[in-house]
Structure formats: C-alpha cells, structure tokens
Amino acid sequence: MEDNSLKVSDFNTAKKPLLAKRVDYVRKFHNDVFIDEYAWMSNIKSNELREYIDAQNEYTSKRVSSLKPLRKHLFSELKSRIQETDMSVPTRMDGYWYYVRTEEGKQYGVQCRMKIKSEDDWNPPVIDERAHAGQTPCEEVIFDANIEANRFNGGFFQLGGMDISLDGKRMLFGVDSKGDERFDFYIRDFCADKSGDFDCKNGENIEENGSESADYNTRYNNSFVTLSDCIKGISSALLTPDGKWVFYVTLDSAWRPYQVFRHKVGTSVENDVKVFEDLDERFFVSVYESFDERSVIINSSSKTTSRVLMLPLSTPEGDFRMVLKPIENVEYDVSFACFENAGQDGKDIPLMFVSHNLKNPNFQIDVIDLRKYSADSMPFNIGEGYCIAQGSPYGCQNGDLIEKGASKKAISAPYYNSKNPKILQGLRGLSVDGLSVYKNYVALSFRANGLPQLAVMTKSNAVEDFKAGCPWRFRLVKEDGFVEDSCESAASCDSLVSCDSCAKVASFRSTSARKELSKISLEQAKNSRISLIGATGNPCYEAPKIRYSCSSYATLGALKELDPATGKSVLLKRGKILGDFNENDYAEKRVWVKVRDGESVPVSLVWKKDAVAKTNAMFITAYGAYEISSDPYFSVARLSMLDRGVLFAQVHVRGGGEM
C-alpha cells in the first residue's frame, strides 16, 4: 500500500534558502525617513531579480520534492470527487434563460442561453446537463472561454465581466490576457441564427486561421461579429440596456480606478468623453447600472467615505449629479425603486433607499419618498426619510449616538429597537446589509449571531407598512422556506451564544486554542448546522419568486426558489460529490470563545464524526480585516483533510464583518 503520510524529516533535507541582498533606499513620507532595503525588487524587468526568483523556486522544488507522490495522490483524490461535465441552473434575464456549462477536461465555462417561451415563462427549462454545449435544441452558445483563451495565445485568461443589451442582440465583455487586472473590452453583435431572427450591422468579422478557426466557427455557428471599437487597458465597463452606450473606468499608474468615460458604440474610442474623475488617492471609482435599469451610477469610495452620483439613462449624454451630500467618514449606498400604482389616482410611488452609517456603525436603511421632492432636490442629506431597519450599536465606538451606554455593552448582547421589524428584535451582533425591491417582493439582507441571513416580504405588505409608517413585516427565510415572523423565531440562533458553549482562552495562539477547543464534546453537536443563507441569481425585476442559496461547512450547497406569497420553497439544484461521500459522516458546530478583553468570538468547527478532539490534529485558520467575513461554505478540498482525522476550526476574529 502506498504510504502518503508526511514526515517532519521531509523538510530538513535541503540547503538553506538564498537571502536577498539588501540595498539601502531612502523613502520620505510626511517628514519621516524610512530605509527600504528591498526597493530594488520593484524593478520587475531586473535580470538580477529574475535570477533570484528562479533560485528560490528551485530551492522550494527541492525542499518539497519528497512530497510529490502525496501531492499527486491528493490531486487525483480531489479530481475524482468533481463532476466536470455539469451546468448551472438557468437564470432568466429579459427574453432569455442564461446558464453556464462546464465540460470534462476543459478549464473554463461555456456561456449559453435559450429563449423564453413567453413573457410568463418563469420555470427554468429542463436541459440535459451532461450534453455538450451547443448540442441541445434551441441552445445558443454565446461565449466559450476555452476557445477565447486560445485566441489570446493560450496563456493567462480571465473574463472581466459581461453585459448584454435588453434585446439580447449585443454583448460587451472584458478580457485580461496578461494577469495585470487591466481588461480589454470588446463588443459583439449577435447575428441571425438558423431561424433568421435578426441581422448584424456595423460589424467586422474576426479573422481566424487553421483548425482553431474551424473550431471557433463551429462552436459559435458564425452567429456574431465583433465590432471594431475595442476599449483597452481599463478596470471595468457597462453596456446600457439599449446597447448604444458604454460607460467605463480607467486606471491610474498605481492601478487605482479613478476616471469614468462615455463611449458611443460604433465610434472611435478617441472620441470618448470623460464624465467623472476623482484625484483623491484614497478613493476607488466604479460604475454600474441601477437595478431598475433607469440610471447609471458612479460610486467613489474610500475605506470610510462614500460618494454616489447618478445619471438617468433617458439622457445618457447628460451630466452626473451627486445623490447625497458626502460626509467625511460616512459610508452609504443607494438604490431606486417604486411602488407601482400605489399612489393617488393609481400613480407610482418613486422611492430611494439609503443604507448608511452616519450614526450607526452597523448601518441603517432609510426610505425617502421622492414624491415630496422636485427633480432639482438632489443632493439629499444623509439621514433624510425614515428608518426601516437598524443594526446594533452595542460595542461600537459611536454607539452612544443611537442608545446611551451602547458603546460599553457587549457586541453579543441582544438588541431591541422599536423601528426594526419583529424578526430583528433581540438579535445579537446585528448589522443590516441591504434592501432589494422587486415587482412582487422585497428582500432584506442582514447579519446576526455572526451569520448572514435573509428576510422577505410581499410587495403589497411593504406598500401597506410604508403608508402606515409602521415596522415592515419581513419574514425570516430558512433552508426550507419561511419561519413565523416573531422575534422568538428570528432569534432562534441564540443557542449558539449559550455560555455553556464558551471556552475561556487567553488568546488565539494555535497552541492554547487547540488545547481549549479540544475540551469540547463533539458528540453534543451531531445535529448542529452552521448555515449561510443568501439571495442569489435574481437579476430580473419581474420575477415572481426569489432564489436563495444554502450552504454549510458539512453539507453540500443548494439553490432553492421561494414563493414570497406562500412561503414555500423548492429545490432547484444541490451540489454533487462523486464517490462514496456521505454528509451524515460529518458534523459541525459553532462555539463561542472568550478572549482577553472578555468579548465572545465565534469559532466554527467541522470534523468527521469518528475523529477524537483530544488527540487528533486541528487545523486553525482565521482572518479579520476590512470587514471581510469568513462565512460557512462547503469545500471539496477540505474533505481530504477531514477524512484523515484532522479537525477544522475557522476562528471569526474581530476585524472581519461577522459581528
């Protein structure tokens, strides 16, 4: 039997690594002087640097050469569990169902689509997921990244976004073929297919040679032409719904997105117009389309401050206007929506939703009734309108602005606020993330007890609550649909913070953490689950149902669809693992560990049930910065660790966005 075990001696057989030379280089910042001994490495064209990197790579290869059989074995093990030929669940966007196929032995996905049968066609088509792209009747391949990668010399290839016009006839896509995160954006017009649905205009065919050309044309059935206007070396771009304009973001010498340009499709990029520029090096610029497809939005944000401008798509050559007056150290985001036929005489009620942290570090969401303002009222003031959801101020530096003494309370203390919906009452570590308004429902994303959560309500109920000025009647979404809209149900995760689950440790140094966590009785957690639930794949405003994903450390991810009117959900797709994988062989649990200052920090544990906590190895990982959360997810690669008896611990340290 092949021995794939790892021995400490394997790391002690190579020579010492080369030490990089040190050359003094003086840097001055704010009247302070620093000596940078490795500044010479910033010259990526230096032959000396190249030689040093090659030498280090050679050293590494020799140092771990004895691990080659194990590495090969693990790779084969991982690959044997993956179903390579597969496809995503079709998602409706405008007049098509869009989905991605993957094929065995190929590195990239294939973007496909199929026309909807009618305007009320909301049930995804049943398609053979094992078929090759383009072989299914009525299936159109719109982008095969495997073929596209070969067109760029078969080297590095990354798709940098894709936009399709409302009528489905024009596509914008970006490609990074160097790995420097500068994308070249191209525009394609889809031509008449075999049924002759529509024609291309103002296009130029791409010249191809040899067998690659045959493969290229066969895959796409000669169904498009690429226009001549290529926008090179940029950060991101969007195509307006009518397919006539492109707004894109350029980079400065430090790779910072800082300018927005407007391009008219079919014209030279030399005639493009700069519509925005932010010279403040703290700010990064992005451009996107509002969800209601009525505006182009520019967001310029630093780590602590936001600026948002908008331009109605009805006047694409107009000037962008500031939406809210910016305030230093205040972050905010906006979205626009309307309550159809809910106003006087059956008119729409136009609304703006603002998520901000003016007073509350864990954000609040305000709604502004735009009927009360004229077209010249912008920019608004942050804090206008009335609050419909507010995060917990407990343990936050500025928490006293919301509630007296809040800054001194524990982050994990339950929070009550009369403005909040019932499902948010009594939650711990509550933060509100955002609100999405669709034609038939409203969705609220928030985080509590260290986990992301989702709540939904019908649009009709939202209209009633808006008019009455009362807390909105959101209902919590669980894996199998709604739970009751009571605070008891919403706070059902409180058991996760039970003092019985707390282990007292001085710090998260690996030795002490492993020692204390090993005291936990794994048998008590057989039926525990640490679930992530969030809305996903909902690009269509008119959709009657909302899609959401469920995942955890020990269970395969699933995509489900919920009817907001009935609370019933259906399974659309569940992840697949080949071989003898059985979810029941694994367990997970969240415990809360008290750290040096007395605050409780969540730790997620996952293991194979036959593991022994006191004697088996434990892999501990943590990341806490920039409010980046380490949320539950299923990992095929992690199985190889768990199956060998290793316990996995994800420490959710402060600095992340969990609490």
Contact between 138 and 167 (Cβ < 8 Å): no
Q: Please check whether residue 28 lies inside any domain of the structure.
A: yes
- Give the mean model confidence (pLDDT) for residues 466-482: 92
pLDDT for 221 equals 59
- Give the mean model confidence (pLDDT) for residues 33-45: 93
pLDDT in tens, 64-118: 999 999 999 999 999 999 999 999 999 999 999 999 999 999 999 999 999 999 9
pLDDT in tens, 324-355: 999 999 999 999 999 999 998 899 999 999 99
What average pLDDT is seen over the chain?
Answer: 86
Q: What is the DSSP string of 505-564?
A: -S---HHHHHHHHTTS-GGGGTT---EEEEE-S---TT-SSEEEEEEESSS--EEEEE-T
Q: Please check whether residue 198 lies inside any domain of the structure.
A: no
- Give the mean model confidence (pLDDT) for residues 617-629: 89
Number of domains in the chain: 2
| Beta-carbon count within 10 A of 331 CB | 18
- Give the mean model confidence (pLDDT) for residues 607-622: 87
pLDDT in tens, 437-449: 999 999 999 999 8
The number of residues making up the chain comes to 659
pLDDT for 509 equals 41
Residue type, 30: H
- Give the mean model confidence (pLDDT) for residues 364-382: 90
Which of 155-169, 299-313, 476-490, 506-520 is predicted with the least confidence, judged by mean pLDDT? 506-520
CA dihedral 517, 523, 524, 529 (to 10 degrees): 90
Is the pLDDT confidence value at 513 over 80? no
- Identify the band that residue 267 occupies on the pLDDT scale cut at 50, 70 and 90: very high
Is the pLDDT confidence value at 492 over 60? no
Which of 45-49, 147-151, 391-395, 443-447 is predicted with the least confidence, judged by mean pLDDT? 147-151
Q: Which residue matches tokens 């020799």?
A: 62
Q: Please check whether residue 204 lies inside any domain of the structure.
A: no
Instruction: Point out the domain boundary residue: 38, 63, 80.
Output: 80
Q: Please check whether residue 359 lies inside any domain of the structure.
A: yes
Say how far apart CA 368 and CA 355 lie, in whole Å.
11
Q: Where in the sequence is the domain holding 392, given as residue range(s)?
A: 328-434+461-467
Is the pLDDT confidence value at 430 over 90? yes
Q: What pTM does this model have?
A: 0.85
- Identify the band that residue 222 occupies on the pLDDT scale cut at 50, 70 and 90: low
- Give the mean model confidence (pLDDT) for residues 25-49: 92
Better-scored residue on pLDDT, 380 or 612: 380
Instruction: Point out the domain boundary residue: 415, 445, 467.
Output: 467
- Give the mean model confidence (pLDDT) for residues 351-379: 92
pLDDT for 99 equals 97
pLDDT for 480 equals 86
Say how far apart CA 534 and CA 35 lie, in whole Å.
47
- Give the mean model confidence (pLDDT) for residues 138-166: 89
Is the pLDDT confidence value at 208 over 70? no
Q: Please check whether residue 352 lies inside any domain of the structure.
A: yes
| Beta-carbon count within 10 A of 304 CB | 11
Q: Please check whether residue 128 lies inside any domain of the structure.
A: no
- Identify the band that residue 658 occupies on the pLDDT scale cut at 50, 70 and 90: confident
Is the pLDDT confidence value at 656 over 90? no
| Beta-carbon count within 10 A of 605 CB | 23
- Identify the band that residue 216 occupies on the pLDDT scale cut at 50, 70 and 90: low
Which of 513-522, 551-560, 591-600 is predicted with the least confidence, judged by mean pLDDT? 513-522
- Give the mean model confidence (pLDDT) for residues 561-584: 94
Residue 223 structure tokens? 């169904």
Q: Please check whether residue 393 lies inside any domain of the structure.
A: yes
Is the pLDDT confidence value at 511 over 80? no
Q: Please check whether residue 600 lies inside any domain of the structure.
A: no
Contact between 41 and 49 (Cβ < 8 Å): yes
pLDDT for 70 equals 94
pLDDT for 218 equals 62
Say how far apart CA 603 and CA 528 lie, in whole Å.
14
Q: Which range scores top for mean pLDDT: 5-9, 223-227, 275-279?
A: 275-279
CB-based contacts of 163: which residues, under 8 Å, 6+ apart?
A: 171, 172, 173, 237, 238, 239
DSSP reduced 3-state for 335: strand
Q: Which residue matches tokens 């010498």?
A: 253
Prior bond of 379 cis (ω within 30°) = yes
Instruction: Point out the domain boundary residue: 80, 109, 127.
Output: 80
Contact between 114 and 138 (Cβ < 8 Å): yes
Better-scored residue on pLDDT, 501 or 602: 602
pLDDT for 411 equals 85
